[in-house]
Each structure stands twice: as structure tokens, then as C-alpha cells.
């Protein structure tokens, strides 16, 4: 399990990937060819994965995304955090949430 700021990345077995993911189109990469896990609203910095693989969208902002890392490895990068190296395989990507009376929301960076 890995954490970078408000993003939690949990390795999972392929059997734990919901079947619906197979029918989804991977999210587009940004102009720098990164897979964006979370974009900072105030700073413009991004938690992003560099390397071969695909990132599949969440059903809603409070649901996880699914990341597949192919090839040798992937790297999770951010301008203000250390790099994390991920082995090939599947990962569940969970954004940190916060509670306010009457609602739950994804943490804003």
C-alpha cells in the first residue's frame, strides 16, 4: 500500500478488479503523457503516474479509480512529494475524503 499526499494506492489481484472496468475506456493522458490520479485545484500540481499502463475512471468522485501498470514499472510523481515506484499489476486508487456535517467530499488540494 502506498500513500502520496491525499492519494492512496492499493495493490490488488486481477480477480479483485470489478468486471465493469473491462468495458471502460482508459482516461486520456495529459500533454506530458502522464496518467493523472489527482490534480491540485489551488497549486496546479498533479499526482500522476508515468510509465506504461492505463487508468480507468471512477463511477463517482467518492469511488476508486483502477490503475494497471504494464512493463517494467510505473512511477507516481508529484512536484512536492517523493517518487513512488509501482511494480506491474493492478491497483485501486482512492482519494482521501473529508466529512462536513451533512456531506462527504474528496479532499481539495
Q: What is the pLDDT of residue 64?
A: 93
Please give the grid coordinates belonging to residue 102.
Answer: 451533512
Please give the grid coordinates belonging to residue 84.
Answer: 513512488
Q: What average pLDDT score do residues 40-52 get?
A: 80
CA distances from 105 to 46, 52, 62, 70, 97 (A): 19, 30, 7, 31, 5
* pTM for this entry: 0.84
Q: What average pLDDT score do residues 29-33 get?
A: 93
Instruction: Read off the pLDDT band of 11 (50, 70, 90).
Output: very high
pLDDT higher than threshold 90 for residue 3: no
Amino acid at each position: 500500500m502506498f500513500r502520496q499526499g491525499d492519494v492512496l494506492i492499493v495493490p490488488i489481484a486481477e480477480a479483485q478488479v470489478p468486471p465493469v472496468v473491462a468495458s471502460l475506456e482508459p482516461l486520456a493522458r495529459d500533454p506530458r503523457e502522464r496518467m493523472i490520479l489527482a490534480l491540485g485545484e489551488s497549486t496546479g500540481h498533479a499526482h500522476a503516474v508515468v510509465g506504461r499502463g492505463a487508468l480507468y475512471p471512477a463511477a463517482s468522485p467518492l469511488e476508486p479509480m483502477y490503475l494497471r501498470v504494464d512493463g517494467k514499472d510505473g512511477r507516481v510523481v508529484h512536484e512536492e512529494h517523493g517518487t513512488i515506484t509501482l511494480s506491474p499489476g493492478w491497483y485501486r486508487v482512492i482519494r482521501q475524503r473529508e466529512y462536513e456535517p451533512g456531506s462527504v467530499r474528496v479532499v481539495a488540494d
